[in-house]
Structure 1
Amino acid sequence: MTNKAEKSTNEYHVASFVAYPIISQIFAVKAAILAVQGTEIHATSEEGKIVFTIEGHSYKDIGKKMDTIRVHQGIINLSPVYHQILDESIEDDAVNENKVVNEFTPQTHI
């Protein structure tokens, strides 16, 4: 029996989280976060809260990575903060057709 490869998408997802670790395990928790592909730690508070992001290509990809981190024995709680989805195919189409994406026209107010 062969495993199905996950369907490739043109989406780019980035989600941010705050992890609340057991203070005595903070270094192990940080290592576990960084061991997951597409993660980056942005800040750690004095109280031990860890702010990090996960990048992926689908909701499912972000969810799998989040679950891998969430079940670490040193994490008390993992809270999602933000999730952004970009459709890269729109930008690719615009570039291929020589269209301007996100055009900005300055306005003069009198």
Structure 2
Amino acid sequence: MTKNNESRTDEYHVASFVAYPIFEKLTEVKKAITTVDGTEIHATSAEGKIVFTIEGHSYKDIGNKMDTIRNHKCIINLSPVYHQILDESTDSDSN
């Protein structure tokens, strides 16, 4: 049953996060975030907090990308903010 969920291609997921890096490693952490496919940094505060999104095709895809970023040695904490799921099969019918 899990196999069917993973092969599903009509879902679009977007999740937002706030990363709290070691301030002296801010540039390194930003580069690590943007090297993960489907990520985009939207803002960085003066204190070094990084607001970014991850796009993917499933919960598992978002989770794997999040884990890759969360496990970076210079990230103190990674907080999820929002997660939205769109069913693209119904969106295309309405156009």
- Shared fold by TM > 0.5? yes
Q: Structure 1, residues 49-90: CA drift from partner, whole Å, max 9, x if none?
A: 000000000000000000000000010000000001100000
Q: Once the 2 structures are TM-superposed, how far is the Cα of residue 92 of structure 1 from its aligned partner? A: 1.9
For residue 94 of structure 1, report the CA deviation from its aligned partner: 3.0
Equivalent residue runs for 1:1-110 within 5 Å: 6-95=6-95
What secondary structure is seen at the aligned counterpart in 2 of 1:41? strand
Identity of paired residues, percent?
Answer: 75
Q: Distance in 2 between matches of 1:37 and 1:31?
A: 12
C-alpha separation between the residues in 1 aligned to 2:79 and 2:25? 18
SS in 2 for 1:48: coil
Runs of 4+ with >4 A deviation: none
Question: Partners in 1 of 2:94 and 2:45 — Cα distance?
Answer: 41
**Relative contact order, CA 8 A, sep 6+: which one is greater?**
2
CA displacement, residues 32-58 of structure 1 (integer Å, 9 cap, x when unaligned): 000000000000000000000000000
Could you say what secondary structure the match of 2:33 adopts?
Answer: helix
Q: How many pairs align? A: 91
Secondary structure of the residue aligned to 1:53 is strand
Give the Cα separation in 1 of the matches to 2:8 and 2:36. 19
Indicate the structure (1 or 2) with the bigger Cα radius of gyration.
Answer: 1
Unaligned stretches of 5+ residues in structure 2: none
Say which structure is richer in helix: 2
- TM-score, length-normalised on structure 1? 0.79
